[in-house]
A = this chain, B = another copy of it.
């Protein structure tokens, strides 16, 4: 098998914490370069921008874009134009419609565009989907509350326009929800709490449903201190499914049926290598569309300023 030579573009926390190790662990994937204004890795070719990488860098087959969502579209377009496969961190863009031309470019060039949803690769997500497929679901509740200071230190972009605020983690929950439920859901109401000094919400409550009227509620809060929660509770005719720790553990009525260590990003890179072998794309915009709808029809409230 030919190695997929990958350059990471945007070398912040997620690149360091997850991407480097996952690429090293996945057969067929090799980290070949880094493009980042502020950071580099010893013994790897380094470039300040993606333009310099593409013009002056070593031969690469693919880029993995770990930059903030606001700048990713232009970078993806440049990489596709240069004939590279492209992997996008979540969310895939600052808006939904900007993905359409990228999808068309990738198809035209027979290159892979992979919009990743790492939480879908959490170990208990597929067991949960299968268990729910045979049950009658009566309600769903999501609690996705984390401390932004712990998980997003120095990431000012997250509260800028297009940065999603608390939906940056919340969209992970929505990516799981839209994978495990048998029918498509849509947002019917939302409350968004914007800090007085910020452009993206720090907390949100959503009400969703499907064509059958399934009640789905979600609470996202970035101000959580103490224990963090990344849980989805699903009530069914045959018991309560609890998907906890961001999809790492599934329990039915308290009994743990699936639990495994986190290998989400390895799963992503295995899939990227597989897609790139044929130049196929995988772009599911469903979670981002739900967030856009929440902004579109949400009630805004102003909450106390957030100081980092």
Contact = CB atoms under 8 A, between A and B. Distances in A.
Given A101-B184, A186-B98, A188-B98, A297 B211 contact: no
A94 B297 CA distance: 6
Contacts of A183: 101
A113 interface: no
A77 interface: yes
A203 interface: no
B296 A96 contact: yes
Contacts of A94: 188, 296-297
Contacts of A300: 194, 199, 300
Interface in A182-211: 183-190, 194, 199, 210-211
A140 interface: no
Interface stretch (A48-56, A239-247, A287-295): A287-295
A186 B293 contact: no
A218 to B, nearest CB: 14
Given A186-B101, A194-B300, A298-B161, A96 B199 contact: no
Contacts of A100: 184, 186
15 contacts: A70-B297, A94-B296, A95-B186, A95-B187, A95-B188, A96-B296, A97-B185, A97-B186, A97-B286, A97-B289, A101-B211, A104-B211, A194-B300, A295-B296, A296-B296
Given A162-B296, A199-B300, 12 more contacts: A70-B297, A95-B297, A96-B289, A97-B184, A97-B293, A98-B187, A101-B183, A101-B210, A105-B211, A194-B300, A291-B296, A296-B296
Interface of A: 70, 77, 94-98, 100-101, 104-105, 161-162, 183-190, 194, 199, 210-211, 286, 289-293, 295-300
